[in-house]
Amino acid sequence: SDVCSSDLLPAICREAQVDYLDAGPIEIDGVGFAGSLGWYDLTTREHVLDAPMEAYRTGTWGGLRWTDHTYAIWNGPQGPMSMEDVAATLRARLAEHLATLTSRRIVVVTHTLPFADQIHRKEHPGWRFVNAFMGSLPLGDVIRADQRVVLALAGHTHLRSDLRIGRFRALVTPLGYRKEWAGSTPEAAVAAALKVVEV
């Protein structure tokens, strides 16, 4: 998809009757909401892992394949974009959206993870490899830089975290895949993932 003008996600959001925050921020009852799909730029990769840079570029290593490299092709004016360029473009867009908000309190929503402490570390080499594709730490810098942010919501990972990062809360509370519900009913899985946050 074209990183600057894709129609697919906005159309899906219109059909679901939700606001597509990557297209622009909104304000509800004095609280601003700004969002970004975000992307990964290898700033979350684990340097202790002995994987060559080419493996990260192709998304393949040790029998693993990161399929976003196959199915999520981002095009810019000069053709396919690198993951770093995609992340930088979306990061700049989020910064612009934050700058247009006049709200005194802001909630930021991203798909990929913006903070290092949200990355779950495990010893398994495959896990360490795919951590490179969890998010972008410079995206977190953009969020930290706006003193009005009171809450940062993220997704992408299927593991939960609830952190205090400086003055704001950073929350990841995914539903995950059905196979990850450990025998829970759909109702119980939703109840476990659901959070009410006062901002």
Collapsing DSSP states into helix, strand and coil, what is residue 23? helix
Question: Residue 19 in contact with residue 28, Cβ under 8 Å?
Answer: no
**11-40 core/surface letters (b: 16 or more CB in 10 A; e: else):** eeeeeeeebbbbeebbeeeebbbbbbbbbb
At 103, list the tokens.
């709200």
What pLDDT, on a 0 to 100 scale, did the predictor assign at position 159? 92
- Tens of pLDDT, residue by residue over 68-120, are 988 888 888 888 899 999 999 999 999 999 999 999 999 999 999 999 999 99
Predicted pLDDT at 71: 86
In the prediction, which pLDDT does 72 show? Answer: 87
pLDDT digit string, tens, across residues 141-170: 999 999 999 999 999 999 999 999 999 999
Residues in contact with 106: Cβ distance below 8 Å, sequence separation at least 6, in sequence order: 31, 32, 33, 34, 98, 146, 148, 149, 150
